[in-house]
Structures are given as structure tokens and as C-alpha cells.
Amino acid sequence: MSHNTGVEEYRPLLTIVAPAYNEQEVLPEFHRRVSAVLDTLDVPAEILYVNDGSTDATLSVIRQLHADDRRVSLIDLSRNFGKEIAMTAGFDHARGEAVIVIDTDLQDPPELIPEMIRLWKAGHDVVYAQRESREGETWLKKATAHCFYRLIDRVAHVRVPRDTGDYRLLSQRAVQALRQIKEHHRFMKGLFAWVGFNQIAVPYRRDARYAGVSKWNYWKLWNFALEGITSFTTVPLRFATYLGLGTAALAFSYAVFVFWKALMYGDRVHGYPSLMIVILFLGGVQLMTLGVIGEYVGRTFNETKGRPLYFTNQVSLGTTNRQKAECPSGE
């Protein structure tokens, strides 16, 4: 406050965190639309682009935006770390009192920002955008997403709101809470809910991607679902326990039956098929249970290494709310 050191001192009211991975086609249009919205708001804002190891011209596009518009901040990660980490890097460097995370592919309409800010000023800590419709997505993606939200609702100990992506506003204390979470397996949707505070939804229509391709496929989605479940609940482990108990109970009844049959009718070395079935069934159950345990052991292994979450090539923070270097008249 008292000593003015320029760059360090600049505290925007709002930071827009925009993770970008190979978004060269969309970024100029994204920046235009976000800037248009910010201009109407007239609050000191910063747009913090996080280049997540893009292999196309994304970084030079961001550098150009940074050069042209002084409210643009830039973080260049040392490689592709994935969106969850890119967002985390954004939170770590965001200087705003409120932070908004938004996709750069324009699937999240920036026009929602004023409403988010209104709700934040009304005292909400987390204002999340909740989809009413999903344009440009297949029924299969919609169906799998629906099932996933239902499942995570049932088994996880946190209530993750349905049809909600990462697009949201976070207050200072929500961001500070998120900064303290150092885990590597970051299921952000769950973490956003887990930090608690006063949360509220803003309904919106999700558009199709403006340009470029989605980085998601079903295999990634499946792994994402696994991540969500394993970082928030140990229910699968308990399931393994009950599966084991159930199988043991079945095996015991079957043993009684076999013993009784041998006593009554003698043992004529039949039963090859039933023997095979039992062996294969038990083998299957054991391997599956081991797999479930393995999922958790693997995650424990990754977390115990305690590696830093990311490295950066460059961090350049914007210095002012004003566009371009020249100041408006009277200043």
C-alpha cells in the first residue's frame, strides 16, 4: 500500500484465468469478447493467460496480446501439464480479489461475467456457471456426463453440482483455500465444491467450440471419472471388501454342498466345469480387487513424492487496467 513499486503493487479487482492449450485460432476472438465485456464493467481487471505447453502459435499470440494490452498477464508453463494444473498456476499468480476461470475456446460465454460479479458483490464466494443446454455435443457425451454426475453425487462425500464445468468466479478466500490444496491428482470440480463457502449457480447455454478441436476423448473422460471417484471417496475399497465377503460366503455354501454331495453320492471325480468356473471366478474377483487397491496405492505413491505441481518458463504480469501504453487524457 504505502510504497509504490509499480508492477508488484498493481492489484486488479478481477483476474480472468484463461488456460490455453493449442488455441491459436480462438484466442484473438476470445480476447476481443472478454475485453468487450470488461470494458463495459469498468473495473480494474487482468486477463491471465496460462499457456499449457502448446505446440502451435498460442504462446506468440498471447505474447502479442500482452504487448498490445497492458491488462494481459501471461504464464508460460514449461510443458503441457493439463488443464487442472494450468488453472492452478493461474490461481497461484492471480492478483484479483475475485478470480474467474474460463475456457479459451469460447464454450463459456464471457457475457456471463457481469452477472457473476453482481452475485459476488452480493456476498457469494463461488459463482458457478451451470449449463442448461449443450450445443454441439453428441448424445453419448451428454449421457455419459449425466451418469458421471449421478455417480459422483452418490459415492463422493462432496456435492458436485450437475452440469457444471470449471467456468466460475471465486472470491479471495475461496482462491486462498484452493491454493492450499497441493495434491497432484486434482479433480477440480470436486475441489471447488469441497472448499465450501457460499456457492451459487448461474444458468447459461453452453455453446459449441468456436474453432479448433476439443482435447477430450472417451478414454480421457473415463480416466477423469476415475480421478473424480478415487480422489473423493474410498467407497470402491469398501466395495472390494464386500465383494470379497460375498464371494467367500458363496464359496462356503458351495463347499458345504460339494461335501454333502460327496457324502451322499460318493466322489466320482466329475466336476471339471464347476472347478474351472470357480477358479476363473475367484481369479477374476481377486484381480479386480487388486486393481482397485492398486488405483489407490498408485495415487498414494504419486502424492508421497511431493513434487512441485508445475514449472514455468515465463511469468509476465500486466501492469494496468488501461489498454495500450498511452494513458487517457487527464492522467
Q: How far is the CB of 184 from Mg ion (least distance, A)?
A: 23
- The only residue of 12, 15, 19, 152 in contact with ligand UDP, by rule CB under 6 A: 19
| DSSP code at position 5 | -
The span of 14-22, 193-201, 226-234, 303-311 binding ligand UDP (CB under 6 A) equals 14-22
- Closer CB to ligand UDP, residue 54 or residue 319? 54
- Closer CB to ligand UDP, residue 76 or residue 125? 76
Dihedral of the alpha carbons of 313, 317, 322, 328, in degrees to the nearest 10: -100
Q: How far is the CB of 216 from Mg ion (least distance, A)?
A: 8
- The only residue of 35, 58, 88, 107 in contact with Mg ion, by rule CB under 5 A: 107
Burial of 278 (0-12, 13-18, 19+ CB in 10 A): middle
- Interacting residues with Mg ion between 145 and 204 (CB under 5 A): none
Q: Which of 56, 8, 24, 33 is nearest to 16 (CA)?
A: 33
3-class secondary-structure state, position 59: helix
| DSSP code at position 324 | S
Q: Judged by CB under 6 A, does residue 31 bind ligand UDP? A: no
Calculate the alpha carbon distances from 148 to 144, 156, 175, 228 in Å.
6, 11, 26, 9
The span of 103-111, 129-137, 149-157, 281-289 binding Mg ion (CB under 5 A) equals 103-111
* Crossing angle of helices 27-41 and 113-121, rounded to 10°: 40
Q: Judged by CB under 5 A, does residue 22 bind Mg ion? A: no
- Closer CB to Mg ion, residue 105 or residue 227? 105
Q: Judged by CB under 6 A, does residue 88 bind ligand UDP? A: no
Contact residues toward Mg ion (CB under 5 A) are 105, 107
